[in-house]
Chains A and B, each alone.
Chain A
Amino acid sequence: MNTVPELFISAVNAFSDSEAVIEDARRVTYAGLGRLVNKFSSYLTSLGIGPGDRVLILLPNSIEFVTAFFGVASVGAVSVPVSTAFKKQEIQFYIDHSGATLVLTDGVFAELLKDSASESAAPIRVVKGGSADWHKCEDSASDTAVIDPEDEVIYLYSTGSTGKPKRVARTHKNLIALADNHTRTVGWDENDRVLFTVPISHTYGLGNFISSIKIGAAIVTQGEFNRRKVLEQIEKESVTVFPAVPVMLDALSRTRLEYPGDLSSLKLVISAGAPLPEPTFRSFHSKFGIYPRQLYGSTETGVISINLGGSIEKRFGSVGRPVKNVDVRVLDDKGGEVISGEVGEITVKSPSMTRGYYGLPEETSEVFKNGYYFTGDLGRIDPDGYIYIVGRKKLFINISGNKVDPGEVENVLTSHPLVSEAAVLGMNDEKGNELVKAVLVTEGEVKTGEIIEYCRDRLAGYKVPRIIEFTDELPRSPSGKVLRERLK
């Protein structure tokens, strides 16, 4: 199979009676999902959506998200999935920047986006909930559009440090390769049942999602993370795989919730998005009898590596070995490969990686060189090929797996009428968690609460500064660059 629709149709045919997606009380088999996608494709066609069009998907993990994604792919259009944590201003950016001509969402977000500037260019359609009407479309076994594997199928956005997210396009070929690399490495099959509380709109969730479909696994969706619901779902749905982020695993391992249920179905717990602290690794195993396994990836490349090896007790800190068909090299500042075990920049070559950033040739040429993506992560590879991440060259803040671009937050802050300058940086609290800190120069008195409220209305919650300080002047180098280290 060479395209996403072909991957989907192959799964529908091979696993027709198997459960595909479970969302609370709703269940759909692969055959049923196939019919839903046919209807959705007809719906999109009736709205004039066709090859190359961009469709913004603003939905939680759900049957409708999965249906919309494959429906969009089937008509040759490009999905632009965005987080449901985003505020109106942020969503507006993605609509404008992606060139979306349609927004698919639920009633709550439709109300939020009503009367927005882009509504005429990108009409909003409710596809989830009571007022959704796409179900009335014909389930015509429509032919999929003529698609070249090199055509774009999805836009994701990578957090940078330039103030605006960078568009990363992945092709059908990229996603097929991603699913292939991941499933061949992890060894999943149609008996697996994967719990998705990490958003499928994010590269981490997306990779696990497309892999699950490829091998006919069941996708068990969940909305916002809730410890009791996670444990109940694992037991009720006999979940075998649980992709998570460290903060979820930490909360589960420290929960006082007494859950007497049977969690023995669980065979793989994945941790990604942020480093897994050793206390969390050990306490999770102590409580649940299974070790979390770290996975490493990026928006630009998809999954890079996963730690499935033995000796996990000693190697828990590693993000594992590269998955099939992915090459990882650690380079020094001059671009030469370091000696085994030495620290350098992690570079990746993968058939699932993007060609570059849309509209940013300079940034693209800085990080995509000689077929490799320069991650900006510092790391080393041990003699057995296990990768360890030890630091970061890039200037972004990692809030429990959510990346924050300091420049984006600075832009919001300086748009406040009384804020003349702003510097945003990450700093660690006493527990080693990263926090967003803002240092402001203001014209007149501004209260912290006012700044928080201003940010809250314009930024996803995790981007809002937790520490706000005021100063008369920001420290700068002779060239005018803000010296962030002095602000920690």
Chain B
Amino acid sequence: MSSETKDRIKRLLVQNVLKNMAETDIRDDSSLIDLGVGLDSVATLKLVVALEEEFQISIDEGEITSEILESVNSIQSFLAGKSEDIY
């Protein structure tokens, strides 16, 4: 799995949800739920839109589960399943 993809995911997390943190503070397997990701639907929606624009894919927010938002790794796996260009 590409570390560049993970870095991009971390940047979007910091920009849209985890305002408190630096990208370097987020481990690939950090529990994002514990950090505050997925707490409310508005923040989740903003993250989804940001992921769409960053990775040029279409995501139905109804697909987003707490399992997908569990960690950077799980978000990356989800995105990789949406497009061959993401790995």
Contact = CB atoms under 8 A, between A and B. Distances in A.
A418 interface: no
15 contacts: A85-B41, A226-B60, A251-B46, A256-B53, A256-B58, A257-B60, A429-B19, A430-B15, A452-B35, A452-B36, A456-B36, A461-B40, A461-B43, A462-B39, A466-B17
Interface size range on A against B: 20 to 34
A461 B49 contact: no
B45 A468 contact: no
Contact of B61 (A227, A429, A449, A461): A227
Contacts, number: 76
A227 to B, nearest CB: 7
A254 B53 contact: yes
A229 B43 contact: no
Nearest to A228: B60
A256 B56 contact: yes
> Interface size class for chain B?
20 to 34
Given A247-B42, A256-B52, A467-B20, A452 B34 contact: yes
A435 interface: yes
Contacts of B80: none
Interface string A211-226: 0000000000000111
B52 A466 contact: no
A466 B61 contact: no
Given A85-B40, A229-B62, A251 B45 contact: yes
B52 A255 contact: yes
Contacts of B62: 226, 228-229
A342 interface: no
Given A256-B53, A435-B19, A226 B61 contact: yes
Interface string A450-468: 0011001000111010111
B22 interface: no
A399 interface: yes
Contacts of B42: 247, 399-400, 402, 462
B20 A468 contact: yes
A118 B18 CA distance: 36
B19 A461 contact: no
